[in-house]
Amino acid sequence: MSAEPALIVQNSPVAPPPVLLAWAASREIEVEVHRADQGDPLPDPRDREFVAMLGSKYSPAAADVPEVQEAMKFTERSLECDVPMLGLCYGGQLLSAALGGRIETSPEPELGWYEVTSTASDVVPEGPWLQWHFDCFTLPPGAELLAESPRCTQAFAHGRNIAVQFHPESTIEIVSSWARKDRERLAGLGLAHAGERLEQGRRFAEGAVEAAFTLFDSFYRRAFA
């Protein structure tokens, strides 16, 4: 394995990865969190043990945004160097787009706790999973479908990479802060009660952490099989 620590790219000050960090610590995996949201250029992913790309306020469809352009180049570079990549929500969308998939407006935003239908429950348990997205990705050519919902593809594997549309790295408290931040937008879309949906699913929080560890372990095994 590479001597360089795994790289986690944080794209928003309100979207840290506490569950992913807890998993890495429990497995004694060294990680470095790169705060792209603070304006620092993304490092070269080459020689990293793996990279994880977190959520963002942007969509890869916003191709004219400099931050999106840099993140796409980083994703393409990771694939070129065969560095295993875990794409989470925005990160999963970047992976799909880099592999030839499409980014689309979700037919219905998934905001809160949602079940998924898994084709590989040892990789992606059926949930429920925390979701917070208005766009979604399609299954790129050559990818293996891992999970889906009636609205969109939820997870796929491609080589040593895994992409998911949900937020296994996050917690209900963090996603609730997004709901408060998005209050105006949600009201305009007739989704003002999305925050209540999150709270109603608080009983799922402990199981979601266990499911996230299963997902992260599966990604790590795939990365170094």
To which H or E segment does residue 213 belong? helix 205-223
Query: By C-alpha distance, which of 82, 80, 170, 176 is closest to 129?
Result: 170
Rg of the chain over CA atoms, in angstroms?
Answer: 16
Residues annotated as part of the active site: 89, 167, 169
The number of CA neighbours under 13 Å toward the Cβ of 196 is 4
The alpha carbon of 38 is separated from its chain's Cα centroid by a whole number of angstroms, namely: 19
Strands 129-137 and 144-148: unpaired
- Strand residues in the chain grouped as ranges (E): 6-10, 31-35, 51-53, 85-88, 103-114, 117-118, 129-137, 144-148, 153-158, 161-164
